Amino acid sequence: MSIIEIRSTVVLPAERENIELETADGLTLVGELALPVGRPPVATLVTLHPLPTAGGFMDSHILRKAAWRLPALADLAVLRFNTRGTSSPRGTSEGSFDGGADERLDVAAAMRFVGERQLPHPWLVGWSFGTELALKYGLEHEIDGAILLSPPLHRATDDDLRAWAASGVPLAALVPEFDDFLKPSEARERFALVPGIDLVAVDGAKHLWVGETQTRRVLNEIVERVNPARAPLPETYETGE
């Protein structure tokens, strides 16, 4: 046995599978599913990446590290995929960026995959542009909740927010103190339409959640909501070697 410190480049054990998602308009999207080794997941994170025209993709670092760590540390399945027209080392999804409109079909394809694989208790985890997809289209699917990282609220409308308020589906938002687009005071004002929102202002953080301290904060906040029995996450891991 040996104990390793969990740092930014550490990849913990998981059953990882390259997958393809088929959209209702005939596109193939590339992605990955990461599962706990030797045991079923207790819940599922369906991740929605930042804006592809600004460099966002399924490997954006918070989502990548969720897939690297959370199957082993928190018994979670982590589904990542590139929305239409987005490229990453995994490959390029067919189609072209549509500003968040036809990406509705991409979210639907991911949720259909979740149903086909019988993955339990799906939560949407959107980051930046991905939060817009979660807010606009998440309620069209059977989800346990949604977690928003750095929501800009550029595309989501007041009507979208009112729909979440009426739904009763849990909604959490992590808002960086120094966000480029929506700071905590502004977020509280905009999200006032969702009185039940779990809004967390994160001191010292920026939109991109750079650094191991912020990565750990975000992953812990996710796990506290999705599988609280496994929070807080350890900072070391005991290998079988």
Terminal Cα-to-Cα distance of the chain (whole angstroms) = 5
Give the model's confidence band at 240: pLDDT under 50 very low, under 70 low, under 90 confident, else very high: confident
User: What is the mean pLDDT of the segment spanning 11-26?
Assistant: 98
CA atoms within 13 A on the CB side of 182: 26
The residue written with tokens 């999705």 in the block is: 226
Question: What pLDDT, on a 0 to 100 scale, did the predictor assign at position 127?
Answer: 98
23 CB-contact burial (10 Å; exposed 0-12 / middle 13-18 / buried 19+): buried
Cβ contacts of 170 within 8 Å, gap of 6 or more: 144, 145, 146, 196, 198, 225
Bin 209: left if φ > 0, else alpha if -120 < ψ < 50, else beta. left
- pLDDT tens track for 176-214: 999 999 999 999 999 999 999 999 999 999 999 999 999
DSSP letters along 37-95, please? TTS--SEEEEEE-S-GGGT--TT-HHHHHHHHHHHHHH-EEEEEEPPTT-EETTEE-SS
Q: What is the CATH number of domain 2-239?
A: 3.40.50.1820
- pLDDT tens track for 129-180: 999 999 999 999 999 999 999 999 999 999 999 999 999 999 999 999 999 9
User: What is the mean pLDDT of the segment spanning 63-80?
Assistant: 98
Question: What pLDDT, on a 0 to 100 scale, did the predictor assign at position 6?
Answer: 96
Question: What pLDDT, on a 0 to 100 scale, did the predictor assign at position 1?
Answer: 81
pLDDT at position 215 over 80 = yes
Is this structure's pTM higher than 0.95?
A: yes
pLDDT at position 241 over 80 = no
Q: How is residue 104 written in tokens?
A: 């509705």
